[in-house]
Amino acid sequence: MSSPTVPSPKFTLSKKVVLEQYKKVREVVDIPAFSSKTNPRVSPMIEENTDGFLSVHMINELKHLKDMSRVLFLAQGWTSEIVEDLYERGIRSFAVDNEFDLDVLLSTIEPTDWKITLLLRLKLKEHSLRTERYFVFGMTSDVINERVAQLKDDPHIEQLGVHFHRKTQNVNEWKIQQDIEDVLSEETLEAIDILNIGGGLPSEYANTNVDVIGGIFRRLTELREWLHEKEIQLMIEPGRFISAPAGKLITYITGVYDNNIIVNASVYNSDMDAILVPVKLRVEGEVGNNAGKPYVIKGSTPCSMDLFRYRVYLKDEPKIGDEIVFINAGAYNFTSNFCDLEEIPTEIIE
């Protein structure tokens, strides 16, 4: 990926911005938990500088953390051996999204004197999902209501809760109170201690309307007040909202022709989000369509989908060797081995 004429690309990640974003979330919920999969380099910052939890999906992610008592581990297709291993590591908080995993957990802890926090994942209807692209996790509300009634007096469970998650970059579905009242019984709401609403807080991209963020935080405040009337704590697992604004991807132009700019990075080793979600990173210094010329910014591989931006307006004429800096690039900047691309290093800044 390096070139003899331009510097190698790199990420920068600002600890200051991470903690500012965390503080915004902390002010409106009771239990914030950073979703470690979003950017594992952010997890130690949260662990060392806040009182927040870390939401973890895979055992491999645990190497980034020291205090396992602050981990919420989300189960998927596990075994009794895995449950025992996690408990021995010090993890005491678990979320399960199906009865198979729940029964594995319960049969494992039954002969022990373990004490855990257990969240049952609810399959809450997502009104804006109309394709087969997404798998919606969780158990039906009937199952949740039935299992909560069974578990509320279980001596192994110190805190019992319900968890759900809507898709990433959720800008529409934050009227949560009514949705919960429609599917959870009064008995369930009286029995649980925690409602974990997952992540989904939007971040700012070129193709995202983030004017709604103030309204979302007002909804969260209202939800928290309603839950407190029932002595339930509000938990949330933002990842993108905390980590995305803290990151920049610094690349360099290696080619310019027609209205195309080629940079010395690829979406496949820096911005898989551009293909998967897709969200498009903003470019530092980009201008409105009346103030500049339009350009395509393409990655360095031959793939036609290796596009950072299909149309971005720049005021100055780009030249080989110039920087192209993508902002809000701190979330889901994972890499692949496509074309044997090298992982782009991250520089941590205060």
Query: 246 and 21 in contact (C-beta within 8 Å)?
Result: yes
At 1 the pLDDT is 45
Query: 22 and 239 in contact (C-beta within 8 Å)?
Result: no
Cα-based distances in Å from 336 to 60, 282, 305? 17, 22, 14
**pLDDT by position in tens, the chain (length 350):** 445 579 999 999 999 999 999 999 999 999 999 999 999 999 999 999 999 999 999 999 999 999 999 999 999 999 999 999 999 999 999 999 999 999 999 999 999 999 999 999 999 876 665 555 666 789 999 999 999 999 999 999 999 999 998 777 787 778 899 999 999 999 999 999 999 999 888 888 887 766 788 899 999 999 999 999 999 999 999 999 999 999 999 999 999 999 999 999 999 999 999 998 888 999 999 999 899 999 999 999 999 999 999 999 999 999 999 999 999 999 999 999 999 999 999 999 98
Contacts for 108-116 with beta carbons within 8 Å, 24 or more apart? 108/80, 108/83, 108/84, 109/83, 109/156, 110/156, 112/156, 114/87, 114/156, 115/156, 115/157, 115/158, 116/87, 116/92, 116/156, 116/157, 116/158
What is the rounded CA–CA span in Å between residue 224 and residue 110? 33
Closest CA to 22 of 221, 239, 248, 331: 239
At 126 the pLDDT is 66
Query: 11 and 247 in contact (C-beta within 8 Å)?
Result: yes
Cα-based distances in Å from 245 to 12, 284, 326, 331? 11, 13, 11, 8
- What is residue 78's three-state secondary structure? coil
Any idea what DSSP says for residue 133? S
What is the rounded CA–CA span in Å between residue 312 and residue 287? 8
* Maximum CA extent, the chain: 70
At 128 the pLDDT is 60
Number of Cβ within 10 Å of residue 47's Cβ equals: 20
